[in-house]
């Protein structure tokens, strides 16, 4: 049963329109795959802020039993992405401009010092290995593929921060990053131009890191956290 559910859970959240691109599973358990898929759906705007979704209905869409969906939604509730609505399901949380600005501030407080430290400690040639990650983000941005862009963006940041050798830093920073990707209550649409501009900042940041230009590294990192996506 679990194997068949795991196979069904690897696909994206179905919608009434054209099917979304199939996403590769990142976990082996059904619950883990559902959690990944729901997070992707949140980041991609497939789950609307303020709307209530029931576990049985989502389970039917995913082709799995309600239990792993309910467990995944409970975890998202603990992260603040959704709210439990008794006897109905889970409401996607409404996020404000202020919350997004606060997340950006915390991310800057956490990551700017790390980036400056890495700029001084990491040999310039090692940054070349990160260029393919930045290029993948840029390619997704040019295509206007928000889901692929968001995943590539997180991968880029995880890889950069991973050079610090602190796994807890990567975990905390990634949680903040993921929360910053959740949709706004106002339903603001991200333009392709916004994605392209953000992706270009990755390339510029790598150039500054190679040059060990600390002032540019700091300014680019702070600017990158501005709540525009």
Domains and CATH numbers, the chain: 30-92 (1.10.10.10), 97-225 (1.20.120.530)
Q: Sorting pLDDT into bands at 50, 70 and 90, what band is 29? A: confident
Give the model's pLDDT for residue 17: 33
Mean pLDDT on 43-54: 86
Q: Which residue has the higher pLDDT, 36 or 190?
A: 36
Task: Give the span between the Cα atoms of 204 and 207, in whole angstroms.
Answer: 5
**What one-character DSSP code corresponds to residue 122?**
S
Per-residue model confidence as pLDDT tens digits over 60-78: 988 999 999 999 999 999 8
- SS3 string of 28-88? CCHHHHHHHHHHHHHHCCCCCCCCEECHHHHHHHHCCCHHHHHHHHHHHHHHCCEEEECCC
Share of the chain above pLDDT 70, in %: 83
- Write down the H helix ranges in 122-224: 124-127, 131-143, 146-162, 167-181, 192-211, 214-224
Per-residue model confidence as pLDDT tens digits over 90-111: 999 887 888 888 999 999 999 9
Q: Which residue has the higher pLDDT, 226 or 69?
A: 69
Q: By mean pLDDT, which of 2-11, 103-112, 128-137 is the weakest?
A: 2-11
Give the model's pLDDT for residue 21: 32
Mean pLDDT on 7-15: 47
Q: Give the bridge partners for 83, in sequence order.
A: 91
Q: Which residue has the higher pLDDT, 125 or 45?
A: 125
Q: Which residues contact 181 (CB under 8 A, 6 or more apart)?
A: 42, 43, 150, 154, 229
Mean pLDDT on 168-193: 78
Share of the chain above pLDDT 90, in %: 52
9: pLDDT strictly greater than 70: no
Model pTM?
Answer: 0.71
Give the model's pLDDT for residue 133: 94
Best-predicted range by mean pLDDT (47-51, 186-190, 192-196, 218-222):
218-222
Give the model's pLDDT for residue 23: 40
Give the model's pLDDT for residue 110: 95
How high is the mean pLDDT of the chain? Answer: 83
Closest CA to 191 of 159, 144, 155: 144
């Amino acid at each position: 049963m679990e194997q068949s559910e795991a196979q069904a859970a690897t696909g994206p959240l179905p919608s009434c329109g054209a099917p979304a691109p199939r996403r590769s599973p990142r976990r082996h358990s059904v619950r883990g795959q559902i959690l990944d898929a729901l997070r992707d759906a949140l980041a991609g705007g497939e789950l609307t802020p303020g709307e209530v979704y029931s576990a049985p209905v989502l389970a039917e869409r995913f082709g799995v039993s309600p239990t792993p969906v309910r467990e995944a939604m409970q975890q998202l509730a603990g992260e603040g992405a959704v709210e439990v609505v008794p006897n109905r399901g889970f409401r996607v949380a409404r996020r404000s401009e202020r919350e997004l600005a606060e997340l950006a501030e915390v991310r800057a407080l956490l990551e700017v010092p790390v980036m400056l430290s890495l700029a001084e400690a990491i040999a310039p040639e090692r940054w070349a290995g990160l260029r393919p990650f930045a290029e993948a983000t840029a390619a997704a941005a040019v295509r206007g593929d928000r889901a692929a862009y968001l995943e590539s963006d997180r991968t880029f940041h995880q890889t950069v921060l991973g050079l610090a050798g602190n796994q807890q830093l990567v975990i905390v920073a990634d949680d903040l990053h993921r929360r910053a990707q959740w949709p706004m209550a106002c339903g603001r649409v991200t333009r392709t131009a916004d994605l392209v501009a953000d992706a270009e900042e990755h390339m510029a940041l790598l150039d500054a890191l190679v040059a060990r230009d600390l002032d540019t590294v700091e300014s680019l990192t702070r600017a990158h956290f501005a709540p525009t996506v």
